[in-house]
Structure 1
């Protein structure tokens, strides 16, 4: 019992299995048949049956796809449909969910289109790696189209409104019929070889697959891929696709959209130019300020290293050194003068005349008597003898005879020998009357 229970499925589970099998086995199919039971409710979806003499299949085309149909589906119309097989689980019926529907008269062209598209794609003709980017600014544009169609009016109107400075050359050609493809190829190659244009636009208005067939030509597709100038294709309406669209460097959904893609809006360009001008002014001001700063620094460095500045600095240093030397010399001279005055005071105090004057004052303060007088006389005689002896050994006496007393200026030491001084050293010479400042130029002995 348990083994049989494992195999029991609910209707929902069975339908799910059936749906998965259908969708996995038939990923995408083309079916040609006659329309029947056509209904289109308020939702916008399209429901009908495709039938032949012996069978029929239910079909559904939901609104996002059905609203772009180029014809009105009606009973008995023969069509070519493309879609996926699935299961409508609510009724347990299988059906097709379509993504494309066209009248059966276009079926052969559609199959030829798909086969050629697959072959060229396998060769890499439609690969994104080989597509050339449009230039940032198109200056000259070649427009290959019919001179009387609505497409050329739309293109020229949009280009004139958005960017009147663009140079546009209209290269008139047939866009429909047996000779149209050859004319388009010829004009494309001539425009590409001229070197005059920055971009080439192929365009025409909408139409049936047969009307657009000139743009599905294999030679045209290869000429577009081989062009050195970027090619823009805008053929038909947004839902129309041609081999020229796949081979072109850029596909536009409509001719007007192609014109908008090729040139900027002049108002947007004016705004951008104003922003760029402001940015340029700001950058110029910044660069000028930076240049002025560099100039100021260079001027300061130049002034700091100029000969005149260095000479002025040396003069200031020399002046300062001279001022300090003069102050030091004056301090040394004053010190020497004080020492000489002190030595003179001490020497005068030890002179015989000074001592004799002091003794006289002392004698006058005493009351002399005969013994004292004789003693005083003896003392006077002895003092005179001592004075004579003192004068004999006194340096002042020696100086008075034409000699001088030499002392070193730096320490006041008495100079008795030439070995005590160096060449260039400063000396002071004490004379009988006055003093001299001397500098040793040469030393002997």
Structure 2
């Protein structure tokens, strides 16, 4: 039996698992370019780090994907399980588990839904900026002499517009700015043409549009660059994109929206037959207005002729007015003189009434009467006061101690001159003074009785 051991001198190249995974990762990332891949999201998770981890699958297979926080911040929608997406990713390997995975650098919604979401986001943005406000819409010129058209030079739209303008407004000049109206780079061509045509100074009005088509075909007129070019255009604009049921961002930004390119040509022009009819009506109205004005002027001339008089008659009227004014002036002067005379007489009378010697005499008489009255009043007051004093004196005499003494009474007083009213205040052999009606004498107490 032979041994299965290797030959001793044979050298082996042995890799660790980590080395193997690192080599495979390097081979994948260095040899496989960035890829666009579509599929359905499943197992979508967002850990606290903010990175996104999910599987991208179709009916027969799936692949693990990772989109790191620095990249997923630019995604304009929230991924969900079951949503179809389109990603741009590089192929890699997660070394820790040896798992094949995609490192996602860009993600967008796939198909029609993505386009509609992008369209709604742009409309909301421009709406917030005021680009859709009716206040900024400008009126179109009534009869533009030069109309600029930005569209495809080979489409049916330009033929329809030229036909309508030639029929309705043949005097207008048409300036075509040929652009691509669909496909890659069409939006940039349209925006550039709007800017150039608006600043060329040639046109009074600008029509931007194309014929009908799918949402993808009309998409250049939903691009932000076209919308901002229309908003910045210095001349009025008409948006005429697709059919009546088609609506693009350009329709909201332009000054006027036309349902079709043919309708835009009709809006921009006036019907020649209607203009001739209006001109005829205006001529009739002008003739009637002139006739009315002439009749009015003739009436005014006749009225002023009737009012016009001969100069001699005017002089006579003026002379009569002058005589009348002269008589009024004389009468007014006489009235003034009479009034002044009456005022002078009244003043003379007032002055005579106020002569000084007369007023002094009146004052002297008044003073004499007042002095006599004062003397009488003083005499009466003195007599009244004297009578009152006499009465009071009699009353005082009646209550005076001296009057009592006159009736034979005496007043006993101690040595200090105080009246003695109570015998208990006396002592035997005490000296007392006795006051009589006439004179005084001293005595000593010999006996005291209560």
TM-score, normalisation: structure 2: 0.45
Larger radius of gyration: 2
